[in-house]
Amino acid sequence: MNSKQEFIEKLRNSSLRPTKQRINICEVLFNRDKTFHFTINDLFNLIKDKTGEKVSLATVYNTVHAFHKKGYLKEIPINSNQTYFDTNVTDHHHFFDVKEEKLIDLKNEDVGPIEIQKSIPGKKIKSVEVLVKLED
Amino acid sequence: MNSKQEFIEKLRNSSLRPTKQRINICEVLFNRDKTFHFTINDLFNLIKDKTGEKVSLATVYNTVHAFHKKGYLKEIPINSNQTYFDTNVTDHHHFFDVKEEKLIDLKNEDVGPIEIQKSIPGKKIKSVEVLVKLED
DNA sequence: AATCTTCTTTAGAATAATTATAAACAACGA
DNA sequence: TCGTTGTTTATAATTATTCTAAAGAAGATT
Ligand SMILES: [Mn+2]
Ligand SMILES: [Mn+2]
Ligand SMILES: [Zn+2]
Ligand SMILES: [Zn+2]
């Protein structure tokens, strides 16, 4: 487990001070095999569970938004009372299991290229995201 | 303007009593040339402006959800603090102008068919929606 | 190492969208 | 008209998120 040093550097390179709290959040978010989807509350609980240390809710919000701004996290647009984030910041699409309130990644090849045949003067495309809602 | 009778029937057919408030909301939502996108607060203000009568915010919420449940309105998934609704309940996609916080319809032919090449056991696809975010 | 500056964390308050409550009211059917 | 049931409304409650300001920690300067 040598990730701690990497996270410290990553934070420094982002002009974010490597605090104990931020390093713990990095461990929970980025020290894992697969990317994952979470809400602030999910993360808040995971930190306690996985690191044994409590980080205040305000800090979780602050840090998630800092990481989001730096491009280390992505926000997923779905209708939910809570905001969903994704550690997979590449362009990709999602299933959303409405009943379980769970996001599942779709690879780009599972969807195929999407060509938008319309443009709005003065505006350019920032992202194209497909959301596939699932029911039983 | 003979729409009022139609709305009364529409409401009766949906086992919703045709109250003054609901008819006013129907006029604002459905008595127009083009479909449109709105938030609850947009609608609340439009009702006052267009009908001259005030409907309580609680009733606006109640009615929008009743219409949504009946399939007369669609919820658009975007990351916003407010929920966006659409009077266009057909399958279609959207631009979202992030700066202006405005939705713009995309015709299906502007996007092309989307074939999802992955399936989740026990689940079926309920909807496939594309959201194209726009920036300046 | 001591000091200074700047950034960060935190508890708690504030905000804002939405939902719940329950009493007054209106629509409907008998 | 009367009784029943559904609806509206003001207001309170809830909940996610943001704000505030004081205490603490990190980094730079001596
Ligand atoms: Mn994802
Ligand atoms: Mn639309
Ligand atoms: Zn953010
Ligand atoms: Zn609804």
Percentage with pLDDT > 90 across chain B: 90
Q: Are residues B10 and B37 in the same domain?
A: yes
> Is the CB of residue A56 inside 7 Å of nucleic acid strand C?
yes
Q: Which amino acid is at A65?
A: H
Q: Are residues B103 and B62 in the same domain?
A: no
User: Any idea which residue has 């938004």 for tokens?
Assistant: A65
Q: How far apart are CA A44 and CA A21, in angstroms?
A: 11
Contact A94, B97 (CB under 8 A): no
Task: Assess if residue A83 is contained within a domain.
Answer: no
Q: Are residues A11 and A67 in the same domain?
A: yes
Q: Which amino acid is at B47?
A: I
Q: Which two tokens stand for residue B44?
A: 């609340």
A47 CA distance to ligand 4 middle (Å): 33
Structural domain harbouring B108: 90-134
Q: What is the DSSP letter of B100?
A: T
User: Any idea which residue has 């978010």 for tokens?
Assistant: A29
pLDDT at A10 over 60: yes
User: Any idea which residue has 């996985």 for tokens?
Assistant: A50
Chain Cα centroid distance, residue A104: 13
Task: Assess if residue A42 is contained within a domain.
Answer: yes
Q: Does A111 touch chain B (CB under 8 A)?
A: yes
Interval B22-61: pLDDT, tens: 999 999 999 999 999 999 999 999 999 999 999 999 999 9
Q: Are residues A20 and A42 in the same domain?
A: yes
Interface test with chain A among B37, B65, B111, by most A beta carbons within 10 Å: B111
Task: Assess if residue A9 is contained within a domain.
Answer: yes
Name the band, by pLDDT with cuts 50, 70 and 90, for residue A53: very high
Q: pTM of the entire structure?
A: 0.91
Q: Are residues A17 and A55 in the same domain?
A: yes
pLDDT of res. A59:
98
pLDDT at A7 over 80: yes
Q: Does A102 touch chain B (CB under 8 A)?
A: no
Task: Assess if residue A81 is contained within a domain.
Answer: no
Contact A65, A59 (CB under 8 A): no
Q: Are residues A99 and A57 in the same domain?
A: no
Q: Dihedrals φ, ψ of A27, to 5°?
A: -55, -45
Q: Are residues B49 and B111 in the same domain?
A: no
Which CATH number goes with the domain that contains B10? 1.10.10.10
Stretch B115-126: mean pLDDT: 93
Picking from A105-109, B7-11, B14-18, which range would have the lowest pLDDT averaged per residue?
Answer: A105-109
Q: Are residues B8 and B68 in the same domain?
A: yes
Q: Which two tokens stand for residue A77?
A: 């647009």
Q: Are residues B67 and B129 in the same domain?
A: no
Q: Are residues A11 and A72 in the same domain?
A: yes
pLDDT of res. B112:
86
Q: How far apart are CA B81 and CA B101, in angstroms?
A: 11
Interval A11-40: pLDDT, tens: 999 999 999 999 999 999 999 999 999 999
Residue B37: strand pairing partners: B86
Q: Are residues A63 and A21 in the same domain?
A: yes
Stretch B63-77: mean pLDDT: 97
Q: Work out how many domains chain A is built from and give that number.
A: 2
Q: Are residues A62 and A96 in the same domain?
A: no
B87 CA distance to ligand 2 middle (Å): 7
Q: How far apart are CA A100 and CA A105, in angstroms?
A: 15
Contacts of B50 (CB under 8 A, 6+ apart): B27, B28
Interval B78-92: pLDDT, tens: 999 999 999 999 989
Contact yes or no for B77 and A75 at CB 8 A: no
Residue B103: strand pairing partners: B96
